[in-house]
Chain A
Amino acid sequence: MQRKVIFGNRLLPYALLAPQLAITAVFFFWPAGQALFMSVLQQDPFGMRVTFVGLANFRAVLSDPDYLAALWRTLYFSLAVTVLAMVPALLLAVMADRVIRAATFYKTVLIVPYAIAPAVAGVLWLFMFHPAIGSLAWVLKRLGIAWNPVLDGTHAMILVILAAAWKQIAYNFLFFLAGLQSIPRSLLEAASIDGAGEARRFWTIVFPLLSPTTFFLLVVNVVYAFFDTFGVIHAVTGGGPAKATEILVYKVYFDGVHALNLGSSSAQSVILMAIVIALTMLQFRYLERRVHY
């Protein structure tokens, strides 16, 4: 799309664009290029010599059992976070769409977690489930469950999944509610007159009409689980115990910043970039479809 009436000026548009382009070039393209470049190089242990190794770093990363374990972990972590963040959000949005009394109150409270940093959400949940002082950990122990996320990898994973999903419900709720409110009332009333019950109306009318929103949220939630949950993991478990909660983005950080394995970390960065690009493309395919919709 373009405007018909425009200003004629030769230098001004470049001056207006300059700040954004400068920042983009220096802090986005240059480092991304560096990541690509370093991913095909190998540095000797003393950092004295750099040699070109082609795809060896990628081969090493993709055949590393630790990396593959982190990949699978990321996949089921993302699946769990996405499902736990979307299903309750849809249920709450359907209910909020139906009530009139106190609707604003419900909405206001339910969106608050959107404002909370992932790391802080992690701290809230760590405090409830802390093995020594957590109130809910105490309840679990009274129920005979030997709850200890500091030592037990599965418990740690459950904890970070719950914290990450809890924070994201607010976001999904808002989008589902906006989607529901754009469904014409007349459609639902017509179905109701034809004798369709609540459940039938939901599955034959509401859910299909909501599918663009659902698809969009699916992509956004997977991206969130892949990348934005770094804060939750770093603050709550530090990837532990024994790497039980180390997802891909945490591994890139750890290998690059703590283990200083630049070649491997860069190769991992490049793989992550490919994943982001694929997910973004998916999102835009959805956008195109919605235009025709």
Chain B
Amino acid sequence: MASVAPPIAHGAARMRLREDGFAHLILWAGIAITAFPLYLTLVASTLAPQEIAQAPMPVLPGDQAWHNYRTALLEGATMRLSPPVLTMMANSLVMALGITFGKIVVSILSAYAVVFFRFPLRMAFFWMIFVTLMLPVEVRIVPTYAVVSDLGMINTYAGLTIPLIASATATLLFRQFFLTIPDEYVEAAKMDGAGPMRFFWDVVLPLSRTNIAALFVILFIYGWNQYLWPLLMATDKNLDTIVIGIKKMIGTGDALTEWHLVMATTVLAMLPPALVVVAMQRWFVKGLVETEK
């Protein structure tokens, strides 16, 4: 690049090149720190148990990938009596999708009510939803467990998902967006004799597509990665999510831990949310930056 630059800009161009080289160097260091733990896990998931057992393990993949993933998916870590990872992944998927769709439906409806209607107690309800931001599960562990247990929802998919589908952030995002829909649309709809639900289906829902896509990414990851909630709600190991399953497969990290299977399971636990983030990167970044505003 420097060679085609006119002589007068030569110094500046070289300077620029050197600075960019530095930037690329730092970024590669960042990538190394990000990717190294992931790479090591991926390699370990293809090794035989005795190759992992004696440190340091090989840094290049082995030939046990098929065997390890097959065993993990279909049998699980039998020494810890864990269910097959396929079952855990199904549980995680049910939980992630249940929470995602539940949250989107519940919050788009309530945002629609708050924005497009005027009724007694409107603001009180809005604040009720808003303050849930300040009550994460972590601060009300025991009483929430008691409520779910009184309702007979321990060890059920309903118990895993329903209590988590009330969401202030999603409601706030939809509200913010609904406020920008031009009044003319509503007037036109009213003039054509369309009722509020018709307007919702034909106008509001199609317009909300991008917001829904953005929320989908964030909520899917949120649901898939839940930890404390399934830990409390599901004592039946057949309801273990994959993240909880990994913890149980490690146990106390002693000689019984089948690390080759744990690592294969870890890769399987990271794959779905990572794919969602990478594939839907555009919506994800938009959604992340906007929901937090």
Contact = CB atoms under 8 A, between A and B. Distances in A.
B74 interface: no
Contacts of B202: none
B203 to A, nearest CB: 12
Binding site secondary structure of chain B = helix
Say which size band chain A's interface belongs to.
35 or more
Given A99-B27, A249-B138, A112 B41 contact: no
A169 interface: yes
Given A234-B231, A272-B138, A6 B186 contact: yes
A108 interface: yes
A21 B277 contact: no
B143 A35 contact: yes
A78 B154 CA distance: 33
Contacts, number: 306
Binding site secondary structure of chain A = helix
A266 B41 contact: no
Given A98-B19, A113-B34, A3 B116 contact: yes
Contacts of B139: 32, 35, 227, 249, 252, 269, 272-273, 276
Interface string B18-54: 0110111011001101111110110010000000111
A166 B37 contact: yes
Contacts of A175: 288-289, 292
A198 B22 CA distance: 13
Given A34-B146, A120-B246, A28 B117 contact: no
Contact of A169 (B34, B36, B53, B221): B34
Contact of B142 (A6, A9, A107, A266): A266
A125 interface: yes
B162 interface: yes
A30 interface: yes
Given A5-B187, A27-B163, A115-B273, A20 B171 contact: yes
A114 B276 CA distance: 11
B112 A16 contact: yes
7 contacts: A13-B119, A16-B113, A115-B270, A166-B34, A230-B228, A249-B138, A262-B142
Given A108-B281, A124-B40, A234-B247, 7 more contacts: A8-B117, A12-B117, A34-B143, A127-B37, A227-B136, A253-B138, A269-B142
Interface of B: 19-20, 22-24, 26-27, 30-31, 33-38, 40-41, 44, 52-57, 59, 105-107, 109-110, 112-119, 122, 125, 128-129, 132-136, 138-148, 151, 162-163, 165-166, 171, 178-179, 183, 186-187, 190, 195-197, 199, 221, 224-228, 231-232, 243, 246-247, 250, 253, 259, 262-263, 266, 269-270, 273-274, 276-278, 281, 284-285, 288-289, 292-293
